[in-house]
Amino acid sequence: MNEGFPDAPAPSGGPSILLRPLSASRFSRSFHLEVPAAELVGLVTGADSARRLRTARGYLHDTPETLALEQRARESPEDFGLPGWIVLGADTLVPARSEGFADRVWIHGTELIDGHQRLRAMALVLDELGPDHLARTLLKVEVYCGAERERARRLFGCADRYRNIRNAQDWAVRSAGGASSNSAVGRGRTRPTSSTATRPRSPPST
């Protein structure tokens, strides 16, 4: 991995974090990391974490969605990181080889673009149940640097308007084995009744 992107802006003043990812890849616009949760939840500790990380909002501690996140972290920590990504912006991402860590990376000027509620939920459960509880929890982390950081912040800021929330009908279709999106039912049409479907046609009049 190289030192961020060529057009990285001046340091933003965000915190620096040292991570030991289990895997790391560089893509054309971002870095993808797989990180043990216990290494990342420290980002959101402290009353001023939302301000330091420039999150869109603070922790929504009493919403049904956030309470469900906390419960998932308590009951099934190994599954917690499977859906979704933690999205970070950064001034630079650099290997820590110069400090003797061949398997670690520094992320400087960190900004939390998406995932604050999930990280805070895990931080609360970590305080309740201890680090061993999150030992098997892995998080998928996407890091954007330079101009891509600004682009990611802008697009994630309005991502909710493009998201279709699942409803009871979606779950009913899945539990029944799924329906083809190209079928008449998938396009919102109704199936013909059995009496209509099996009724023989009258012969053409002569």
Q: Do the beta carbons of residue 31 and residue 120 sit within 8 Å?
A: no
In a domain, 29, yes or no: yes
DSSP-derived 3-state class of residue 46? coil
Q: Show pLDDT as tens, one digit a residue, over the chain (206 residues).
A: 444 433 444 466 788 999 999 999 988 889 999 999 989 998 888 778 888 888 877 788 888 888 998 999 999 999 988 888 999 999 999 888 766 667 899 999 999 998 888 899 999 999 999 999 999 899 999 999 988 888 888 876 665 655 556 655 555 656 665 544 444 444 444 444 444 444 444 444 44
> What's phi and psi for 147, nearest 5 deg?
-65, -30
In a domain, 82, yes or no: yes
> What's phi and psi for 130, nearest 5 deg?
90, 165
DSSP-derived 3-state class of residue 90? strand
In a domain, 85, yes or no: yes
- Check residue 162 and give its pLDDT: 52
Q: How many residues does the chain have?
A: 206
What does the block give as tokens for 195? Answer: 């009496």
Nearest-angstrom CA–CA distance, 167 and 26: 36
Q: Do the beta carbons of residue 139 and residue 41 sit within 8 Å?
A: no
Give the residue numbers spanning the domain of 121: 17-161
In a domain, 134, yes or no: yes
> What's phi and psi for 68, nearest 5 deg?
-65, -35
In a domain, 172, yes or no: no
* Count of domains for the chain: 1
In a domain, 185, yes or no: no
Residue at 170: amino acid letter: D
- Beta carbons within 8 Å of 21's beta carbon, 6+ residues apart: 33, 34, 35, 103, 105, 141
In a domain, 96, yes or no: yes
- Check residue 147 and give its pLDDT: 84
Residue at 123: amino acid letter: A
Nearest-angstrom CA–CA distance, 78 and 56: 27
- Check residue 82 and give its pLDDT: 83
In a domain, 41, yes or no: yes
